[in-house]
Structure 1
Amino acid sequence: MSDVDQICVIGSGTMGAQIGLVSALAGYRTHLIDLSQEQLDAAREMLTKRTNRDVEKGRRTQSEVDEAWSRLSFTADRDAALSEADFVIEAAVEDLGIKRELFADLDRLTPEHAILATNSSNIVSSRIADATSRPEKVCNMHFFNPALVMKCVEVVPHEATSKVTVDAAVTVAEAMGKSVVRLNREIPGFVANRLLNALRREALDLYDAGIASFEDIDTAAKTALGHPMGPFEIMDLVGIDVVHLIRLAEYEQTGAPEALPHPLIRELYEAGRFGRKSGRGWYDYGDEGAGVSPGAASSKG
């Protein structure tokens, strides 16, 4: 599997679209697949803006971008694209039932040698692998948002994942210019998100107890710990809805009460305050969703 040539990315949302472009930039022939043509068109527009801005700012050359675009296709013809796939990265909705159905389809539609990876950080691949006839070729390959910028990729096997599969996933990630964190065994949340969850929960508890404002807690994380963003800013960037659903997914897998979303997260989620994407979360981003300015985030704000 060192000769991966064609990669298929399932799902053209924010993560899937960026993973697709990262793959094409790395030299792989890449199909970005989605059943929604409207979503594919939105992904193309978003990536065009990103690459144009990168060229303008000197982050990439025009020839580098043009070559990547020549290798990247946007298609709703899932079956045809998958028929020649060497490697599949699933970045679809975070729903176990849907993922199991999808992986059963991937197993049926891809060549026998193809590796099937899920980008999910909260649904471990052992819960998906037995929907296929090739559990040894299934793993988690977790990118971080924004995938075009963030260097980390976590490669996570389940008990039946073969070493060949893990090595292939690591090789692909490194070819994409990523720094790989290789886990020895799976655990919900993996490494980075478990570290982040610990920081997030402490930040939420400090704010909930009235120890400091969420703005000052963010300032402490940035100026004392050297973090580029504070925990509340990160929640707004990732999406309060995503944070909420990840915690529910971990609770569903572990049954641990401490895995449940913090009450303050649930409050924002139920109010539809999802962060940057909705214009307001912990902070108020205005109509354009940019330019952080403090805004009341709950009864504490």
Structure 2
Amino acid sequence: MTLNHVVVVGAGAMGSQIGMVCALAGLSATVTDIAAPALARAETGLRSRLSRDIEKGRRTAAEVAAAFGRLTFSTDLAAAASTADYVIEAAVEKLDVKRALFADLDRYAPPHAILATNSSSIVSSRIADATGRPEKVCNLHFFNPALIMTCVEVVRGPATSDLTVETSIAFVERLGKTPVVLNREIPGFVANRILNAVRDEAIYLLENEIASVADIDTACRTALGYPMGPFELMDLTGIDIGYLTKQDRFAQTGDPSDRPSSSVTALVERGELGRKTGKGWYSYDQAGIKTPRPTGEVRVTS
């Protein structure tokens, strides 16, 4: 199956970067969002990031200019999807939103188009029946920051066809990424299930007053070789993302251990979601430089 036009739904950090990854690989890509300001922020953020890459010699100015020539931003999902060969949904982690989106995409996109979700917590079998093409629905999970991280998980749902899996693997390889194939879906997939176990243990250590946020992160970086600690990573990806993932997991299992932790819940309720809000487990200045917060501001004992 030939892929020429990729549509990404959602102009957040993940969606915008996935769109640029496609454009850098020579594909025509459209990033869509219901909010025009979100699209403007996405383009500004990408131009800033790619300018730094040029300054540091990671990419050439010609390469970046050509990629932006292949990348468009639009609030008109129906028009964008009408010529899509592959659609990647990167919207909010809410099942009802995703199901409504996939029902719309099923109407808008050509019959041959594959409809994938970037979600790592909502498996495609919970979405596929909202469409008339369940065999063309799968999870295609990129990691943040998508412009840098090479792993992409390709996850087969019960109805996903071999052709959809094979096409998705070839697509990931064309992007210069490394596909990891899951033959059976499971919430969290491979990498995030391992990562979530580390995150949950880090929060346990904090809430039980065993160590501070900064010291737990330092241990993970200096003893385990992690590029960043679990609290730093939560601030980068957005504390609300993990919160919504936990909420969804608890709704499926009813297991109290799957509830979001007290500390995470308190941060989300205060709107302190990490780097994007200037406060999370750490505080961030306008340059993005972080400083530790007093433990009493972030730790809530269960």
Question: Which of the five TM-score ranges fits, normalised by the shorter chain?
Answer: over 0.9
Contact preservation (8 Å) 1:268, 1:298: no
Deviations 1:7-57 (A, max 9, x none): 111111111111100010011111111222222112111111111111111
Q: What is the alpha-carbon distance in structure 1 between the residues aligned to residue 62 and residue 21 of structure 2?
A: 15
Q: What is the alpha-carbon distance in structure 1 between the residues aligned to residue 292 and residue 246 of structure 2?
A: 25
Q: What is the alpha-carbon distance in structure 2 between the residues aligned to residue 297 and residue 165 of structure 1?
A: 48
Query: What secondary structure is seen at the aligned counterpart in 1 of 2:127?
Result: helix
Q: More displaced, 273-282 or 56-65?
A: 273-282
Q: What is the alpha-carbon distance in structure 2 between the residues aligned to residue 46 and residue 223 of structure 1?
A: 31
Q: TM-score, normalised by structure 1?
A: 0.95
Q: Which residue of 1 aligns with 2:260?
A: 261
Q: Which residue of 2 aligns with 1:227?
A: 226
C-alpha root-mean-square deviation of aligned residues, in Å? Answer: 1.4
Matched, 1:47 2:46: yes
**How many residues were matched structurally?**
299
Contact preservation (8 Å) 2:217, 2:230: yes
Deviations 1:224-271 (A, max 9, x none): 100011111111111221221111111122322211111121122222
Unaligned runs of 5+ in 1: none
- Counterpart residue type for residue 248 of structure 1: Q
Contact preservation (8 Å) 1:279, 1:289: no
Q: Which residue of 2 aligns with 1:146?
A: 145
Give the superposition deviation at 1:147.
0.9
| Mapping for residues 125-136 of structure 1, pairs under 5 Å | 125-136=124-135
Deviations 1:195-244 (A, max 9, x none): 11111111111222222222111111111100011111111111221221
Q: Which residue of 1 aligns with 2:211?
A: 212
Q: Which residue of 2 aligns with 1:295?
A: 293
Give the superposition deviation at 1:278.
1.5
Matched, 1:97 2:96: yes
Percent identity of equivalent pairs: 56
Q: TM-score, normalised by structure 2?
A: 0.95
Question: 1:298/1:120 Cα in 2 relative to 1: closer, same or farther (>3 Å)?
Answer: farther
Q: What is the alpha-carbon distance in structure 2 between the residues aligned to residue 68 and residue 200 of structure 1?
A: 36
Q: Which residue of 1 aligns with 2:284?
A: 285
Give the superposition deviation at 1:300.
7.0
| Moved beyond 6 Å, runs of 4+ | none
Unaligned runs of 5+ in 2: none
Q: What is the alpha-carbon distance in structure 2 between the residues aligned to residue 300 and residue 40 of structure 1?
A: 32
